[in-house]
Structure 1
Amino acid sequence: MNAPEPALRQTDPLAIAASLAEELAATAVARDAAGGHARHERQLIRASGLLTLSIPTDFGGQGAGWDTTLLAVRILARADSALAHVFAFHHLQLAGIQLYGTQQQQRHLLHATVDDKLFWGNALNPLDRRLVAADAKGGYLLNGTKSFASGSVGSDWLTISAWHQSTQTSLIGVLPTGADGVDVRADWDAFGQKQTDSGTVQFHGTLLPIGLVLQQPGQAATPLSTVRSQVAQLIMTNLYLGIAEGAFDAAREYTASEARPWFASSVERAVDDPFVQHRYGELWTLLRPAVVLADHAGRELERVFRLGSDVTARERGELAIAGAEAKVLAHRAAIEIGSQLFELTGARSTSARFGLDRYWRNARVHTLHDPVDYKYRDLGRYALSGTLPEPTPYS
């Protein structure tokens, strides 16, 4: 007779995330070297039940706050930032349904996600206008291409954006990945984040039914609808932060168990070298403020998101400031810790069997999503004149 699972695993999503992270960590180095589609690991995520984490209880989900969902992303990113990215972008699509969709669309799509254990992917890249929507009977015909489509390979449904020529605006909709004319190509070949399934999606005369359009062409943005970019930005922040925490923990473990002290240090263990201690102290002071600001921004996102249509432009703008503060520190922590760890672990730590280089490679690729200098600019404007960031897909 099998013993029942511990109650904590059944009820605490962060405990489930930690357990899942352990499973992903066991093969993370080998999978990073191999690249490609992590089919088995995506099934582990699906089986964990965490795909329903951010779905409100009214629609059958777990109703977790965004602060909890983002922390789950961070926990997974410590072990495997590529699979954490796929998981996080699933929840970004669910956020879009809640922010753009009608009550009927939310009820249908979110219930289906729970009931059918759907895994969502992204083909919503507003700066890429190569996918064009033309008016058609019953909806729009889609023709063109979307790149950087995170989580598209192996997904069940996609969120898409398409350029509508006659109104010179974008529409946003959703489609089953297996719809007629949808061709997902596994052509992602970056040197980091190798298993994010961020392929190219091509559309060949694909019908987007009117009932699956979340935002019509020409529809004016509202403070609430522009919160989606803040969900995306804080997902990035927590992915970066998870990478930084994972790199720090891996370096600390290696220093304690494998590293040899420098001959001139006159100590028997590397951890007793005062210069090593000093450098870890520096890295710790990069990491801790980033954690504090990310946690604060996560709570602010949850508060603003739950305001619904009552959210004001100022509240949305102040959320963007909190997100920018967290993101620039997480960006810096991920890049610096992922690089500097080798100065603390020594030449032998560069062996491919340890895979310690994946932290820097993943951070370097991921932090190019949008220029950090524009976050500093937004923060500078706010500090100098109180000007809030203009809502864009990246701010």
Structure 2
Amino acid sequence: MSLVIPLHRHHLSEEIAATASHEVVETLAQQLAATAVERDRAGGHAARERDLIRQSGLLTLTIPVAHGGQGGDWSSMYRVMRRLAEVDSALAHLFGFHHLQLAGVRLYGTPEQQASLLRDTVVQGWFWGNALNPLDRRLRATAVDGGYLLQGVKSFASGSVGSDQLTISAWHEPTQSLLIGVVPTHREGVRVQADWDAFGQKQTDSGSVTFDDVLIADHEVLQAPGTPPSPKATLRSQVAQLVLANLYLGIGLGAFNEARRYSREEARPWFAAQVDRAVDDPFVQRRYADLWLLLRPAAALADSAGALLDQAFRRGDALSDAERGEVAIAVAEAKVLAHRAGLEVSSQLFELTGARSTSARHGFDRFWRNVRVHTLHDPVDYKLRDIGRHVLTGAWPEPTAYS
């Protein structure tokens, strides 16, 4: 069982040494951990902690060196995010979604747009937010001279509160398609509402954003309405789905590590076990093994999917439909196992740690609440359908915003 920490931290120290120092990541993780229970209880906007992430330099991790960033690959970002999710999944969510918006710039934007937006992210220290929820078509785009006017609302806008830039999608009625673009959060007519009130992931700043006749200029449009997406462009959904998988996995690892520490240091053995320490109870040992065997394959598949995603990014415009499909299946597999591991570990930990572990001072319930809310992002059954259909017929998942 001593392998649980080396599993991800060993990879962290080896795989991201060239882009983000292990010490920087660990320092940030400990800073977030120090107030995680208290902040989870309070909810609201974690401005100080967002500044800690900004000051760490990790917001530039996936920005290419040519644009002033660290040039890290997606595997590196996911491992950093997974580590942060162990201690604070809400702030890890913000970190992951920031890099997801940067992925959109790289996948949809022209070379000129990428150069401008990515370099300004480095120079200005921008923290990106999301207003791209593709299922919410209440935000409409109307063509005008020089761009489009945006009118309406976007929900589930993760990271919008306190952000500097927003990636947006808006429905264009004439073409029956989405416009995707970038709007500064503080532009006139943009109003961010901190109305997120779920029982988990409380500090993800996932409120709603209202746009009241907001102009988005042509040069801010990353994908014009009616533009058929290339296989490369459709990788954004895979970046997003693997963000979710690694968040679930990080929560599961965090719950496991906290439960293990409690079992070692505080738990009392059940009298019928006739042992002096809870960790010597064979039933406790067996249950920990079961949980470990949920986490270990989930981590292996998440890492494998990350490596495939990196390969697909390097293929760029040459990426084929089949290569894109391979990534989608790998990500679906990783997400299903991470989904199961996160829910099971965060729930079963109480059966291993006992009644005293439910004290509010420990905050162990946050792991289950956070992963339960987050795993509802999109139905896992459709990931299982995609996997099963591929196994039976060889068909690849249809490229959508979720697959």
Normalised by the size of structure 2, how large is the TM-score? 0.95
**Pick from 325, 345, 348: which aligns with 2:353?**
345
What SS does the aligned partner of 2:175 have? Answer: coil
Which residue does 1:33 correspond to in 2? 41
Equivalent position amino acid for 2:162 in 1: G
1:177 aligned to 2:185?
Answer: yes
Matched, 1:251 2:279: no
Partner of 2:235: 227
Partner of 2:58: 50
Q: CA deviation at 1:143?
A: 0.4
Query: Does the CA-based 8 Å contact 2:20-2:58 persist in structure 1?
Result: no
TM-score after normalising by structure 1:
0.97
The residue number in structure 2 matching 1:4 is: none
| Partner residue, 1:5 | none
Structure 1 Cα separation of the partners of residues 356 and 76 of structure 2? 38
Runs of 4+ with deviation above 2 angstroms = 8-15
Q: How does 1:206-355 map to 2 (within 5 A)?
A: 206-355=214-363
Counterpart-to-counterpart distance in 1, 2:145 and 2:181: 16
Cα distance in 2 for partners of 1:161, 1:184 equals 15
Alpha-carbon distance between aligned partners in 2 of 1:81 and 1:213, rounded to the nearest angstrom: 31
Q: Alpha carbon RMSD of aligned pairs, Å?
A: 1.1
Structure 1 unmatched runs, 5+: 1-7
CA drift of 1:15 comes to: 3.3
In the aligned structure 2, how far is the partner of 1:316 from the partner of 1:158?
A: 26
1:114 to 99, 115, 122: 122
**Does the 8 Å CA contact 1:9/1:15 hold for their aligned counterparts?**
no
Unaligned runs of 5+ in 2: 1-15
Deviations 1:266-290 (A, max 9, x none): 0000000000000000001000000
SS in 2 for 1:61: coil
Secondary structure of residue in 2 paired with 1:127: coil
2:167 is the alignment partner of 1:159: yes
Aligned residue pairs, count: 388
Q: Which residue of 1 aligns with 2:132?
A: 124
State the alpha-carbon separation in 2 of the partners of residues 196 and 9 from structure 1. Answer: 28
Question: What amino acid is the match of 2:324?
Answer: R
How far apart, in 2, do the equivalents of 1:249 and 1:98 lie?
36
| Structure 1 residue 167 displacement after superposition | 1.0
Letter in 1 for 2:71: G
Q: Name the counterpart of 1:103.
A: 111
Distance (whole Å) between structure 2 residues aligned to residue 360 and residue 189 of structure 1? 16
How far is the alpha carbon of 1:9 from its aligned partner? 9.1
Tell me the residue number matched to 1:139. Answer: 147
Q: Which secondary structure does the structure 2 equivalent of 1:307 belong to?
A: helix
1:144 aligns to what SS in structure 2?
strand
Which residue does 2:11 correspond to in 1? Answer: none
| Contact 1:9–1:16, Cα closer than 8 Å, also in 2 | no
